[in-house]
Amino acid sequence: MTTAELAALSDRSVVAAMILLGMALVAFAVNTATSRRSPTAANAVSTTVGPGRSTATQHAGGWVPTPVDAPAARVGTVLLSLGALATGLAVVLRGVAAGRVPWGNMYEFGLTGSAAVALVFLSLLRGRQVVGLAAWVAGLVLVLLGVSVTSFYTPVDDLVPVLNSWWLVVHVAAAITAGALFTVGAIATLAHLLRRRSAAGDDPYAALAHTVHLVAFPIWTFAVIAGAVWAENAWGRYWGWDPKETWAFITWVLYAAHLHALSAAGWRRGAGLLAVAGFLAFAFNFFGVNLWIPGLHSYAGV
């Protein structure tokens, strides 16, 4: 197949993914609406129908069915999985068409990031009482894909010479992985902050956020270090306080402060706000710095 044909297949896969994600969003929204019953309990109580299969878990604030039990949630999970696969296929086809790793510009980064967010959430969904977050994840991935297609789309082209390095694979792959984890963590953190006043006992959203942040932070640390090594190779210095480097460091500091606050007495209530601030810094680094602030990384924009 020609480059143009492969690129066209990638574009059609993106359209299919957006349709599937839209349907998943509706299914999860239906599940959320139908799972909110009035009874509340001071503590979570799980009922089972067999080994390892929970029919529902009652948290303060109402009953929250798991993906195993609620039909709408099962349908949504299948649709979200298919949407993630379609997005992943679009990424692979884009890479084959370009003959390189498919994250050389904002469109490709957004495309790959969308697939990563969906896959990260799906990998964490099984066995956790966090299906209430699924509609928000599906919606956010759908928005990111939509913005990437409508505002960042770039035809398949060769890399800018300075990007033609194996460090592109290492540095950007780490940044995408950490970014996907940060995104899921931000959604879980916001849900926890909204539920904190009414939820009693352990909040599964807080547990999910803590898990993904513990995994994401060292990956982001590696991405920052790899970027510094690449900068020395490309520009002859490890660090120059370029806008993208500066905001990557700000993101690192905020997440470091978040993890520290979780272990420090008296700071735990503010730890979630630090995580949200860290994600906002990460998002600004991708959108704001690339679009509005000139620097040595400007070639990585649209």
Of 77-86, 126-135, 230-239, least confident by mean pLDDT is 126-135
Q: Which of 119, 110, 113, 117 is nearest to 81 (CA)?
A: 119
pLDDT tens profile 194-242? 886 555 457 899 999 999 999 999 999 999 999 999 999 888 999 999 9
* pLDDT given at position 251: 98
Side chain identity, residue 191:
A
pTM as predicted? 0.87
The average confidence (pLDDT) of the chain is: 86
The string of DSSP letters for 180-227 reads: HHHHHHHHHHHHHHHHTTT--S--HHHHHHHHHHHHHHHHHHHHHHHH
Residue 77 in contact with residue 89, Cβ under 8 Å? no
